[in-house]
Chain A
Amino acid sequence: MAAFLVKRLLQAVFVVIAVTLTVAFAIRLTGDPALMLTQGAGSVTEADLVKIREGLGLNEPFLVQYFNFLKGIVTLDFGKSFLGGTPVSLLIGKALPATLSLAFTSLIVSIVISIPLGIKAATARGKWADQMIRILSLVGLSFPNFWLATMLVLLFAIALPLLPPSGMDGFASFILPAVTMGIILTATNVRLVRTTMLETLRSQYIMVARAKGLSENVVLYKHALRNCAIPLITFFGLQFGGLLGGIVVVERVFNWPGLGTLAFDAVGARDYPVLQAVITVLSLMIIGINLLVDIAYGLVDPRIRTE
């Protein structure tokens, strides 16, 4: 187990270094921040530019800058926004909970829909209910998430003014974005639940449970579902990256004050410290979750460790 842990940790550290290096290097390629900062500021002398570069630490060699950037990640100091000079960590601190709470609600919506549907598909394998669910899941996979969001706004905020079309303000504002992401996630999750359930239903303890005369619902939801939990939690965990990527886009439609909106505003304004911080924070979260999922899985299932 120790060897597995060390190997997996080293792998994660490697990915963190690769991702942060790429981000830091890529951001440097985008141009001279001193020039961007002084755009439209009237007469700017070369001496002013040098001063600004020194202030930002840009006169240091790239590796020194990179280590400062890494130090910043650890101390949660991502510098200041080019716009208005707000500390970037403050902006992230406001946007991160908005994105995470939406991710969490979407996951719950999807689990609530996909578990009963997936179990139904598995028990009706090859019958028309299974095939209907399969077609529905293919349709769900084919939706552009931002268009599904737009259509839900059109239906439930404009045609029937029941829900707020945008912004984050109370429970009602969560419904449309969470349902959008929930539907998209459900499309994959239904198939995962179905496959896992089919495997489980073949096991002997299910036969025993049925032979004991337990009701079908007890067999499915108590005995079988519990044993599906580990692989399902793994799959849901590994989806986290894709989920965040989707939310970033959907936030745009709903004007959701999260990391996606922050990132796109930063691209538009060429506010690179903010963009760099958003990308770093999102990737670190995904790497962290993947690592946790792998370790948890290795703890529970010894076969994984030797792979």
Chain B
Amino acid sequence: MASSRSASSNFLKLEFVLGALLVGVIGLAVLFSGVIFPGGADKIDLMSRLVPPFARPAHLFGTDPLGRDVLARVVAGGKISLLVGFASVAGGVTVGVVMGLIAGYYRGIWDMLVMRFADIQLALPFILLAITFIAIVGGGLANTIILLVVSQWVQYARLVRGSVLTLREREFILSARAIGVKDWRIIVQHLLPNLIGPVIVLMTLNVATNILLESSLTFLGLGIDPTIPSWGGMLAEGRTYLQTAWWVSVFPGLAILLTVLGLNLLGDWLRDSLDPTGRTSV
């Protein structure tokens, strides 16, 4: 038993190192894209169109049909993905945790509203919600983020509500109430710290999910404006040249895969570190 435990703790370390490395390297490259590629992602050079990858040191990942450097575009396109991923999760967690705390602590009408909303959300796949929403209000960066927040806050609300329901019957909460501690203090000082772990795990995994969702939407022409470099948008463009220029479609997708994998590894590692019994892992 002891050997298998140390093997799985080694595995956890490996997950963390790999995840942190992927997210760290990609995150830094995207953050400093302006410094690494001073020419920018939009520099058109019709003299060097469709250069294959690894053929010229100036264009490591090749160039697209307008002669733009694919590597520079991939790095610049990461800005959109990371921005959407983190901003949407920040929005979703804020709304969801507040609603979940209210629903779990006060029960009643709030509780019913949250749970019924969750039912509706379960019945509508995200992509359908997205098509309807975007057909009405149009795509774009802000709308994509809002859409992700609207579709995801319920996950946090349900998670928090569930934890609060069990926590509120525990002795330390009951005694805090008995000595007359105010509700908001109980919520902020006693409830929040006890339920933040699973919320952080869900946040990490959702940044990954949302990067995937944004790229799907943009690929379908429903998300980010196609003139802004983004991974989903580059993949949509690349489809036309699949026969002649595979690299235009390969590298942006690889960037999505590695970023999302890094975040998933970190999320998996976090979940197991916070909950060694593996109760919450599926």
Residue in contact with A290 in the complex, picked from B122, B215, B222, CB distance below 8 Å: B122
B127 near A144 with CB under 8 A, answer: no
Report which B residues bind A (CB closer than 8 A).
4-5, 7-8, 11, 116, 119-120, 122-128, 131-136, 208, 212, 215-216, 219-220, 222, 232, 235, 238-239, 242-243, 246, 249-250, 253, 256-258, 260-261, 264-265, 268, 281-282
User: Which residues of chain A in 113-171 are interfacial with respect to chain B, using CB atoms and an 8 Å cutoff?
Assistant: 125-128, 131, 134, 138-139, 141-147, 150-151, 153-154, 158
By beta carbon, the residue of chain A nearest B5 is A126
Asked if A218 is at the interface of the complex by the 8 Å CB criterion, the answer is no
Q: A111 on the interface (CB 8 Å rule)?
A: no
**A126: contacting residue among B7, B125, B126, B127, CB under 8 A:** B7
User: Is there an interface contact between A15 and B264, defined as CB atoms closer than 8 Å?
Assistant: no
Which residues does chain B contribute within 8 Å of A143, judged by CB atoms? 257
Instruction: From the candidates A15, A128, A267, name the one contacting B131 in the complex (CB within 8 A).
Output: A267
Question: Which chain B residues border A191 with CB–CB below 8 Å?
Answer: 281-282
Q: Is A57 an interface residue (CB 8 A)?
A: no
- A286/B123 in contact, CB under 8 A: yes
Q: Please, could you name 5 A-B residue pairs with CB atoms under 8 Å apart, sorted by A?
A: A141-B264, A142-B260, A144-B257, A147-B235, A195-B282
Query: Are A144 and B131 touching (Cβ within 8 A)?
Result: no
Closest residue to A196 on the B side, CB-wise? B282
Q: Which residues of A contact B5 (CB under 8 A)?
A: 126
Cβ-closest 5 pairs across A and B: A245-B125, A147-B253, A142-B261, A126-B4, A142-B260
Contact A138 B135 (CB under 8 A): no
Within A239-254, the residues touching B (CB, 8 Å) are: 241-242, 244-246, 248-249, 252-253
Residue A279 at the chain B interface, CB threshold 8 Å: yes
CA A178 – CA B252 in complex, angstroms? 23
A283 within 8 A of B: yes
User: Quick one: given A14-B119, A275-B132, are A150 and B265 in contact (CB under 8 Å)?
Assistant: no
Could you mark each residue 172-196 of chain A with 1 if its beta carbon is under 8 Å from any beta carbon of chain B, else 0? 0000000000000000100110010
The answer to whether A279 and B132 touch across the interface, beta carbons within 8 angstroms, is yes
CB distance from B233 to the nearest CB of A (A): 12
Q: Which residues of B contact A127 (CB under 8 A)?
A: 4, 7
Name the prevailing secondary structure of the A interface residues.
helix
Query: Which A residues lie within 8 Å of B268 (CB)?
Result: 134, 138
Residues of A within 8 A of B122 (CB): 241, 290
Q: What A residues does B219 contact at CB under 8 A?
A: 144, 146, 249, 252
Q: Who on chain B is nearest to A28 by CB?
A: B136
- Chain A residues, CB < 8 A from B282: 188, 191-192, 195
What's the nearest-Cβ distance from chain B to residue A242, in Å? Answer: 6
User: B123 touching A15 by the CB < 8 A rule?
Assistant: yes
> Which residue from chain A places its CB closest to the CB of B115 in the assembled complex?
A11
Q: Is the CB of B8 within 8 A of A126?
A: yes
Name the one of A18, A150, A275 contacting B135, with C-beta atoms under 8 angstroms: A275
| Contact yes or no, B239 A242, CB < 8 A | no
A203 touches B (CB below 8 Å): no
Distance (whole angstroms) from the CB of B184 to the closest CB of chain A: 31
Residues of B within 8 A of A270 (CB): 135
- Whether A241 contacts B264 in the complex (CB less than 8 A), given A144-B256, A145-B216, A263-B131, comes out as no
Report which residue of B7, B124, B134 has the largest number of chain A beta carbons within 10 angstroms of its beta carbon: B124
Tell me, in angstroms, the Cα distance from A131 to B7 when the chains sit together.
10
Bound-state CA distance A23–B128 (Å) is 10
B243 with A158: CB separation less than 8 A: yes
- State the Cβ distance, A59 to closest chain B Cβ, in Å: 22
Contact at B220–A282, with CB atoms within 8 Å?
A: no
- Residues of A contacting B239 in the complex (Cβ-Cβ under 8 angstroms): 150, 253
Give the chain B neighbours of A23 by CB distance below 8 A.
Answer: 132
Q: Is A211 an interface residue (CB 8 A)?
A: no
The answer to whether A150 and B264 have CB atoms under 8 Å apart is no
A262 to B258, CA, bound (A): 32
Known contacts A138-B268, A146-B216; A267 and B4 CB within 8 A of each other:
no
Q: Which B-chain residue is minimally distant from A143 (CB atoms)?
A: B257
On chain B, the residues within 8 Å of A287 by CB distance are: 123
- How long is the Cα–Cα vector from A142 to B23 in the complex, in angstroms? 13
Q: Which one, A18, A158, A248, A272, contacts B128 given CB within 8 A?
A: A248
Report the nearest A residue to B132, measured CB to CB.
A26
In angstroms, Cα B257 to Cα A290, docked, is 31
Taking a contact as CB atoms under 8 Å apart, the answer to whether B265 and A138 are in contact is: yes
Q: Say yes or no: is A30 at the interface (Cβ < 8 Å to chain B).
A: yes
Residue contact B249 to A154, C-beta cutoff 8 Å? yes
B81 nearest CB across to chain A (Å): 11
Contact between A139 and B261 (Cβ–Cβ < 8 Å)?
A: yes
Min distance, Cβ A282 to any Cβ of chain B, angstroms: 6
Q: Which of B120, B126, B136 contacts A15 (CB 8 A)?
A: B120
Decide if A3 is an interface residue (CB 8 Å cutoff): no
